Structure 1
Amino acid sequence: MTIGADRQRQAWDELPEEMRTAAASILGSPIVGATTQNGGFSPGSADRVVTASGRRAFVKTAIADHNEESAELHEREARIVAALGPELPVPALLGASARDGWVVAVYEEIVGRHPETPWRADELAAVFDAFERITRHRAPDDLERSLPSAADALGTDGFAVAGWAQVSAALIDSLEHRELVRELLSGPIGELGILVEELRGDRLLHLDARADNILIREDGAAVIVDWPYACIGAAWVDPLSLLVDVAYLDPEADVRALLAHPILAGLAPDTIRRFFFQLAGHFLAKSELPAPPGIPGLRAFQREEGVTCLRLVRAFSDHED
């Protein structure tokens, strides 16, 4: 299952001519073929394209009139990826253009597919290895100075107790784990900013680790795509966040067994519980907001992610080391 696969993106031939021309200009040749890539939650287009010269690429577009935030995120992602080195498992930016309320970003085409889901052990290990490669490298100084910390990035959207404070009593009452939520909110785990110190670090983070933001190459290596939420923080944040996706797609998955990977080894069980609990508040608070333009399924998905996080809190609470 691919997240958002049932939502049809805008087709290439439906884009304004000036946007298609901008992509062709970046690639240096007219685009003669395009295959729409569905999935994900961006309301813009996403296409694998081929030019008259045979060059292949991946093109993402967004129009501010359809969704202003999406256009801003596409511009931000292009700036971030342009600053990353070629040694990282990230598609290279070939060029970008932004004008008159639209954005076109052209990336290296990755020959690969999204991971199989429910997740396979070998592909999950490949993704953990990719995150480990990324966190071995410091972001360039200019980029690092421009990116938020993980705590600030998550806090902006209601992380920690601020997130839970925005969740309605009616939603909490409807949750299977409502008694667990009330218990944790009334105790030390609910203290504002409790994870700030643990989130600190100097590693480059993706902050949106899900199967639909990952490609598996033919050789089995993983490539991490879609970087608008990049930030700086502790190396464990992305791989631990990915366990939410694993558990969401397979409720029977033994996520505790996945903590053996070196990038997660030594992470305190209490940190894990608090992270999933506070992430649950983050997702559930967002799930009650109005649906953003062009992305009708996002809020329901965020609620499901929040519920999944609470299942993980329960799983780690029931098996304390």
Structure 2
Amino acid sequence: MALTRIDWSDLPEATRTAVEKHTGTVLDSRTAAEGLNSAVALLLTTEGGEVFVKGLRRDYPRRWTQDMEWSIGPYVAGVAPRVLWRVEDDEWDLLGFEAVTGRHAAYEPGSPDLPLLLDTMRILARIPCPADVPVKTAESRWKPYLDDPGDLALLAGDRLLHTDYNPLNVLIADGRALLIDWAWPTRGAGWIDPACLVLRLIAGGHTAPHAERIVSELPTWQDAPIATLNAFAAASVRLWAEIADRDAVSWTERMADAAQQWASYRSSRDFLNFLR
């Protein structure tokens, strides 16, 4: 469920003063309308230039996502806006990021943004998951949704994964695609990120076979065994059905439908392979 956004002027004076120690005097502010998971999402114009600030109240149950973004930031500077500073006080936990002028990606068929995103995913696929950041493993994240516990080994790997390819998490700027919102960094097999993108592409209007053709350009996808993808597609149906049941809004229902489309496609494809 989306959090209620607050403006710069709504933050406590002590919090604003702490921010200005990093930025200089704030001359103007704009509250972002997009996004779901931050109470603070501000573009600040300051004496030192522009900076993007996102944050949560200290007592918010999922404030740990701030820890994740702060810890993983230095490792993803090549594919994401740089994280610059952090302010933590009794009420708020705020992160300052390099401000990027751009727009959110479009995922519809024929979108020129998709090749840019694939280029970024190729770079990300070469980044090993840092050993000193306590990220979740793919095995722990998808274990509740797999039919066969023996499939857990198929998810294991040492790659750093983003996993949340909501188009709101992809900024198109200066001919590049940048990945934002690193709240769910994950350690696992490299093919998992392309698989997560397949679901988003189907939700964006692609057929399942077309979505797979798009990600087939990625070497990590090419490494994934058919049985592995089938198991992940089936697990995705359960995952997104659970999310849609818990929060039945249009985008979660689209994702649940996309997961069902993908699993059905992979099931029919598997059956055709068996007939051959």
TM-score, length basis structure 1: 0.75
C-alpha distance in 2 between matches for 1:60 and 1:283: 26
Residue 223 of structure 1: which of 178, 195, 201 is its match?
178
1:255 matched residue in structure 2: 211
Aligned residues: 269
Q: 4+ runs of 1 displaced by more than 6 Å?
A: none
Which one-letter code corresponds to 2:65 in the other structure?
L
Shift of 1:59: 0.4
1:149 matched residue in structure 2: 137
| Structure 2 residue 113 is matched with structure 1 residue 123 | yes
1:176 matched residue in structure 2: none
Shift of 1:129: 1.8
8 A contact 1:80–1:227 mirrored in 2: yes
8 A contact 1:22–1:104 mirrored in 2: no
Residue-by-residue CA offset, 1:262-299 (whole Å, 9 max, x unaligned): 3322433332222121022122223334x6xxxxx7x6
2:256 matched residue in structure 1: 306
1:214 matched residue in structure 2: 170
Residue 84 of structure 1: which of 51, 75, 82 is its match?
75
What secondary structure, in the 3-state scheme, does the structure 1 residue paired with 2:85 have?
A: strand
1:61 matched residue in structure 2: 55
Structure 1, 309-318 or 221-230: larger mean CA deviation: 309-318
**Relative to 1, partners in 2 of residues 1:255 and 1:233: Cα closer, same or farther, differing over 3 Å?**
same
C-alpha distance in 2 between matches for 1:61 and 1:115: 23
C-alpha distance in 1 between matches for 2:151 and 2:172: 32
1:18 matched residue in structure 2: 14
**Relative to 1, partners in 2 of residues 1:252 and 1:134: Cα closer, same or farther, differing over 3 Å?**
closer
8 A contact 1:204–1:233 mirrored in 2: yes
2:100 matched residue in structure 1: 110
1:49 matched residue in structure 2: 44
8 A contact 1:95–1:107 mirrored in 2: yes
1:246 matched residue in structure 2: 201
Which one-letter code corresponds to 2:50 in the other structure?
R
**Relative to 1, partners in 2 of residues 1:119 and 1:77: Cα closer, same or farther, differing over 3 Å?**
farther
8 A contact 2:107–2:114 mirrored in 1: no
Q: Which runs of 5+ in 2 are unaligned?
A: none
Equivalences for 1:26-41 in 2 at 5 Å? 26-27=22-23, 29-41=24-36
Which one-letter code corresponds to 1:149 in the other structure?
T
Which one-letter code corresponds to 2:230 in the other structure?
R
Which one-letter code corresponds to 2:211 in the other structure?
V
Residue-by-residue CA offset, 1:53-75 (whole Å, 9 max, x unaligned): 4x11110021145x421x22123
Instruction: Pick the structure with more strand per residue.
Output: 2
1:273 matched residue in structure 2: 230
Superposition RMSD in Å:
2.5
C-alpha distance in 2 between matches for 1:241 and 1:311: 14
Which one-letter code corresponds to 1:286 in the other structure?
I
Shift of 1:131: 1.6
C-alpha distance in 2 between matches for 1:41 and 1:112: 19
Residue 99 of structure 1: which of 89, 93, 104 is its match?
89
TM-score, length basis structure 2: 0.86
Q: Which runs of 5+ in 1 are unaligned?
A: 161-189, 292-296
Residue 129 of structure 2: which of 121, 136, 139 is its match?
139
Query: Higher RCO, 1 or 2 (CA under 8 Å, sep at least 6)?
Result: 1
Structure 1, 306-315 or 278-287: larger mean CA deviation: 278-287
Residue-by-residue CA offset, 1:152-179 (whole Å, 9 max, x unaligned): 1333xx332xxxxxxxxxxxxxxxxxxx
What secondary structure, in the 3-state scheme, does the structure 1 residue paired with 2:33 have?
A: coil
Residue 318 of structure 1: which of 264, 268, 271 is its match?
268
Shift of 1:43: 4.2
**Relative to 1, partners in 2 of residues 1:92 and 1:270: Cα closer, same or farther, differing over 3 Å?**
same
Which one-letter code corresponds to 2:179 in the other structure?
I
C-alpha distance in 2 between matches for 1:307 and 1:236: 22
Shift of 1:306: 2.1
C-alpha distance in 2 between matches for 1:119 and 1:194: 36
